[in-house]
Amino acid sequence: MSVRVIKILSGIILIIFMIFWSYNMIFKDIKSLIPAEEELYSGIINIGDFPRLTAETGSKYGWIQERIKRFEKRYPGIYIEFTPMDEKEGYSKMKEEMDKGNFPDIIPVNNMFPYFDKLQPLNGYFTEEELESLRIQATNEIKEENDFLSLPVMLTTYTMYLNLDLFNERGVSPPLDGNWTYEEFVDVLKKLTYDSDGDGIVDRYGFLSFVEEDSYNIWGMIISDGAQIIDPKRDRYAFYGEKSMKGLEKVMDLKTKYEVAPGLFGYLDESECWEMFTKEKAIGVYPGGSWLIPTLQRLKDSGEGFNFDIANYPMGDEKLPTVLSSGIISYGIMKGEDEKKTDMCVRFLKYLLEESSQRSLESIGTFPVIRGIEGMYSDDIYMQRIEDSLSYTRYIPVSEEWIGIEKVIQQEVKFAIQGYKTSYEAIEDAKNRVELLLQ
């Protein structure tokens, strides 16, 4: 091989080397600009939840279990253990374990939650855009100046259920467009209160409800004249004064003045009231949660129930229907030392806000917290009407102090309905007890 050829080959090899060297250096520079893929948490996450009945299947925990299954599929390194929680016993059944520090990583949070100090603040994990996507009702939980400790995922509210069979039997028309004044409401209840078998004893009543903690069935009437429980501007207890007394008297009068509620109103518990409404079919109007729609529909379809309709709470001085509810259903994350695990828990909460998860709430009769999800209940006229009335609902923000406040005011309202106290005495006693409690 000639010297000339060798020089040419050497030049070609040098050029090829320089090309590959330059490409490699450029590739390394570009690669250095690309963020390294985040290493996600892999392992076990424990989630607890209360029962949320799926009407079609009868499953109490099917909704959350389906969300868990889909999330595990999205993140193969994650295994989620589910801890079912009892609705009646609330957090008390888990308290012994939680007192030992054995908390679920993700847990439902409401006003009865006893460990607010152990919740992970969520402010830094959600963008302003993500929070602005929530319905205005749900943002009661989230205050810009404070840490928010739980994320709203779904909404429920209350409505008035009407036994249309009793209405028709008595020749009574339901309220036009679901709206009525308190006076119109009482007039209807009087017509639905009668002796059905002619034995001289009234056995059909226009109205019945119960008074229990964390239940606000009757509170739509109590606040209908402008009463407030907590002043939203000053964030202070405000259930006192003329408006509060007037609202409470409206409920008391149903039993004592107008006699359209049984004498045991104020004594009967939830299960007893529900049985009188659904099994005995002895009650014309029954206030209850929006989640009762699937159950009433199932009873009707099986022949065990009755034709029913819904109506708003009777209007008072506010000139609009009013509803009080604690039905902002939220989930929180317990504090932990593993930041990657906390990040994965946040991913699960964000997954519950995705449109597919929000639309799945239809199976459990609750409403989405994300704006713009429309047509979810287009085939269910009752749920559609209740969703349209969500703007009438005043939601109680989750707070550590509410546990004690709520217990006091429910007790005093119950005493008033039972006849042991006047409206003034009950409300003044509640105010004094709450002031001592907060001190």
Tens of pLDDT, residue by residue over 259-273, are 999 999 999 999 999
- Residues forming a β-bridge with 107: 332
2 in any annotated domain: no
Asked whether residue 245 falls in the same domain as residue 229, the answer is yes
Amino acid present at 289: G
User: Of residues 91 and 323, which shows the higher confidence score?
Assistant: 323
Instruction: Give the residue-averaged pLDDT of 355-383.
Output: 91
| For the ranges 230-239, 276-285, 323-332, the one whose mean pLDDT is highest | 276-285
Asked whether residue 294 falls in the same domain as residue 338, the answer is no
Q: Are 232 and 193 in contact (CB under 8 A)?
A: no
389 in any annotated domain: no
Q: Specify the DSSP element, H or E, that contains 368.
A: strand 367-368
Q: pLDDT band at residue 343, thresholds of 50, 70 and 90? A: very high
Tokens, residue 304: 């065990």
Asked whether residue 98 falls in the same domain as residue 190, the answer is no
Q: Which residues contact 426 (CB under 8 A, 6 or more apart)?
A: 248, 412, 413, 415, 416
- Calpha distance 25→20 (Å, rounded): 9
Asked whether residue 54 falls in the same domain as residue 199, the answer is no
Amino acid present at 363: S
98 in any annotated domain: yes
Which residue range forms the structural domain that includes residue 140? 43-155+328-383
Q: How far is CA 379 from the centre of its chain?
A: 22
396 in any annotated domain: no
Asked whether residue 81 falls in the same domain as residue 181, the answer is no
Q: How far is CA 248 from the centre of its chain?
A: 25
> Which CATH number fits the domain that encloses residue 72?
3.40.190.10
Asked whether residue 86 falls in the same domain as residue 142, the answer is yes
22 in any annotated domain: no
Asked whether residue 79 falls in the same domain as residue 188, the answer is no
Tell me the per-residue pLDDT of 102-128, one tens digit each, with 9 for 90 and over.
Answer: 789 999 998 778 888 889 999 889 998
Tokens, residue 59: 């499953």
Sign of CA dihedral 408, 218, 319, 192: negative
392 in any annotated domain: no
Asked whether residue 162 falls in the same domain as residue 306, the answer is yes
**Structural domain total, the chain:** 2
Asked whether residue 71 falls in the same domain as residue 191, the answer is no
Asked whether residue 320 falls in the same domain as residue 423, the answer is yes
8 in any annotated domain: no
Q: Are 216 and 289 in contact (CB under 8 A)?
A: no
Q: Please write down the long-range contacts of 67-74, taking CB distance under 8 Å and 24 or more positions apart.
A: 67/351, 67/352, 67/357, 67/360, 70/351, 71/348, 71/351, 74/351
Threshold 0.75, pTM exceeds:
yes
Tell me the per-residue pLDDT of 173-210, one tens digit each, with 9 for 90 and over.
Answer: 999 889 999 999 999 999 999 999 989 999 999 999 99
Asked whether residue 61 falls in the same domain as residue 125, the answer is yes
Q: Which of 360, 345, 340 has the alpha carbon at shortest distance from 126?
A: 345
1 in any annotated domain: no
Q: Are 425 and 252 in contact (CB under 8 A)?
A: no
Q: Are 164 and 284 in contact (CB under 8 A)?
A: no
Helix 242-256 crosses helix 402-418 at what angle (to 10 degrees)? 40
E strands present in 233-307: 236-237, 283-289
Asked whether residue 62 falls in the same domain as residue 150, the answer is yes
- Would you state the pLDDT for residue 33? 47
